[in-house]
Each structure stands twice: as structure tokens, then as C-alpha cells.
Structure 1
């Protein structure tokens, strides 16, 4: 079964669920909100209640409050200091560390060669067909030839399933 066929089956199944959801919107009278006219109104009521609540508490960690922005900045500054651990100013940024590593100094050429022999996601890369097959095998991907018809109109399939 091609990927397109499987997606078509999924779309039909999702459409069946949509039909069921439309039939079962729930009993609005059971909402724990004042406005029970519709779900959007009830959600908006909750949003306004949450927005109106002041939840800043610099004194304790809690799931119902937050720190002030100045407390958050202080914590981030402390974390940065802990991460850097007193590193010399020449090595306290990722760019400086990158420049040190790419200079090939202190025997890091082998490490850089190993890193360069990896699949990139930040730039284009030329791979042989064997390398491509190995990459697909490693990550559980399929070849584009195994996908099926990429021009399948899944919206049309969905609409037909809703009918």
C-alpha cells in the first residue's frame, strides 16, 4: 500500500471522526463557566479570568505563579555565570570556541573530520546513492519513489468522505 493510499485512508477516518464530533458538542449547561451560550464564549470567559489574575511571586516556585521579569533576568544571569564557570573572555562565546576548534589546534582535526562526515541539516550536502540509502535506513525514512502520488488532492478525498 503506497503512502498516498494510507494517507487517503487516514483522511477518510478523520472525516468520520469529524462527523461524530459535530454530532457530540457536549452539554453546554454542564460548563463550569457563567457564560454557557457556546464553547467560544466559555473559553473567552476563562481567558479573561486568567488575564486578570496577577500571578507574580518572586518568593517561591509554583505552578500557579510566575517570577517578575527582573527576577527572571537575575536567574538567567546566574545560570550564564554557572555555565561559563569563569571561562576566560577569549572562550566565553560559541563563536570563540568555534574559531578555536576550526583552527585545528591541539589535535582536534580528527574530531572535526568526524563531525564533517555526518548528515547536515543546516546546509546542502552531496551524498552518494549508497550514503543516501544508509541515511534513510538510520532514520527510518522512505525514498521519494515510495511515497506514492504527491499530487493526490487530499482535500477532495476529505470532502468526499464528509458527504
Structure 2
């Protein structure tokens, strides 16, 4: 099953659950609270039982605050910039400086061409080993491409 097919299956599963929620709306007996006779009481019970923001250990039922999310994204952007530059000195931290250096060193061009040969193509089919596929998925942030998203979704419902 392809990633597209698995995501489609996940969308179908979510759609089914949403349909079920619409069918149960107004049915207070379907609430997962002790307060079954009053919707406001049930909401208050859930609200008082759980803090939805947790800046230390977010989970499936908790999230970071907006300030924490902003700081995490900012730190990730800085780390990504540093990874892209790889500690390059200020003399080689722009494309123009790199181009100038490569233009004067034929050995660097050979090394660059070798490195380019290891890229993932988007303009033509490419055969990759299982290890290369795993690494590409990790580099792109895809994770494991054979993940069963429906199973993950169903596990989250428990």
C-alpha cells in the first residue's frame, strides 16, 4: 500500500468517526463523562479534569502553549540555518562566495559533482536501496513510509 493509499485510508477512517459523532450529537449518553444529563456540566467536568497546555511533556491530549511553540520553531530555524552553513566562516556563507571559491578550484568541482550524484532526483525515476530510502525519508521528515495511519488513529481513540 502506498503512502497516498494509507493517508486516504486514514481520511476515510476519520470521516467515519466524524459521521459517527454527528449521528451521536445530542445523545448525552454517548458522553465519556460522569455528567450525562447536562452538556454544560459534562464540558465543565472535562475542562476541570484536564489541563490542555503542558510546556514540559505534551501528549496526544496536551499541547505546548503558543509561546513554547514559537520558541521551539525559532530554535529549529536557527539550528537548520546552522546545519545548512555547517559552521562555514563568514567568507563562505553565501552562494556568491561559494561560487567564487569553486570557480577557482577544479578539485572542489569534482567533489561537488560526486556529492550531486548522491542527490534524490525529482525530475526522473530513481532506484534506491532500502537503506537509502530510509535515509531519504528521515532527511525529508517523512518518517517510516509504511506506517499504518489508520492503526495509529484507532489507537489514539482508546
TM range (shorter): 0.3 to 0.5
Q: Per chain length, whose mean CA-contact separation is higher, i.e. which structure has more relative contact order (CA < 8 Å, sep 6+)?
A: 1
TM-score, length-scaled by structure 1: 0.33
For the pair shown, which has the larger CA radius of gyration, 1 or 2? Answer: 1
